[in-house]
């Protein structure tokens, strides 16, 4: 049983027509979308939804970059639920490039990483996406991800729109290390600044769609 005093929602709300990626919902009568007998009720609706798999707070499965990797419907629940350590990157200088040694120091300040941990990377840049400062956000590297892999982490989340940053040498450097070791990750994690402890209990549960590489996820933390 989890003992907690509050629940923090770490998920960005999705609003159709807003944001940089498409999300459209189209309302219909239920019988217009399904082989259903008409119902004598004024409001019996369903929606047709059109979007992409990488939108809002979303989880990416190994299948995103590896043809034979796990898809979204194959990620074990044990990977998605458990203790999380919050690593604070917010004190780093602008244009920081984070390698293994930098990640080790950041982890030490949070009390260390335990095997089986979920890791949440808090940069503080989530609310600066419209600012020129966002182009100077911290940049993770493959070596930083290997450090996490070597510590036995099972899931990684970031408040940024991507793991790699402006200074990261290759576009998929961090993706390939994590997904290549069967470790999914979550982008656009929200409200990490509301967490008051370096360790929380986290649940991140996507819809288990077979054959899909990524999808929005509801992630919550228990303090």
Whichever domain contains 138, its CATH number is 3.50.30.50
Residue 1: predicted pLDDT: 58
At residue 137, the pLDDT reads: 95
Domain membership flag for residue 211: yes
Q: Is residue 17 part of a domain?
A: no
Same domain, 137 and 207: yes
202/124 Cα distance (integer angstroms): 19
Is 12 within a domain?
A: no
Q: What is the reported pLDDT for 130?
A: 82
Same-domain pairing of 28 and 91: no
Tally of structural domains, the chain? 2
Q: Is residue 11 part of a domain?
A: no
Residues 33 and 133 reside in one and the same domain: no
Q: Write out the residue range of the structural domain in which residue 46 sits.
A: 22-51
Print pLDDT tens along the chain (223 aa): 567 889 999 999 999 998 889 999 999 999 999 998 889 999 999 999 999 999 999 999 999 999 999 999 999 999 999 999 999 999 899 999 999 999 999 999 999 999 999 999 999 998 888 888 899 999 999 999 999 999 999 999 999 999 999 999 999 999 999 999 999 999 999 999 999 999 999 999 999 999 999 999 999 999 9
Q: Are residues 197 and 119 in the same domain?
A: yes
Does residue 8 lie within any of the structural domains?
A: no
Same domain, 156 and 195: yes
């Amino acid at each position: 049983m989890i003992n907690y005093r509050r629940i923090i929602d770490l998920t960005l709300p999705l609003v159709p027509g807003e944001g940089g990626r498409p999300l459209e919902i189209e309302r219909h009568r239920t019988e217009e979308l399904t082989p259903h007998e008409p119902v004598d009720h004024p409001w019996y609706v369903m929606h047709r939804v059109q979007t992409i798999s990488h939108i809002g707070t979303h989880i990416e499965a190994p299948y995103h970059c590896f043809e034979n990797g796990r898809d979204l419907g194959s990620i074990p629940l044990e990977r998605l639920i458990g203790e999380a350590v919050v690593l604070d990157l917010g004190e780093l200088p602008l244009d920081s490039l984070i390698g293994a040694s930098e990640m080790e120091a950041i982890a030490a300040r949070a009390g260390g990483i335990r095997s089986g941990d979920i890791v949440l990377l808090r940069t503080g840049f989530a609310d600066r996406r419209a600012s020129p400062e966002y182009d100077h956000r911290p940049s993770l590297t493959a070596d930083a991800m290997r450090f996490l892999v070597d510590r036995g982490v099972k899931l990684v989340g970031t408040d940024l729109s991507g793991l790699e940053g402006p200074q990261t040498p290759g576009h998929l450097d961090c993706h390939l290390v994590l997904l290549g070791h069967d470790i999914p990750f979550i982008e656009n994690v929200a409200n990490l600044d509301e967490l008051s402890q370096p360790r929380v209990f986290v649940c991140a549960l996507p819809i288990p769609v077979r054959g899909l590489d990524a999808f929005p996820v509801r992630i919550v933390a228990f303090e």
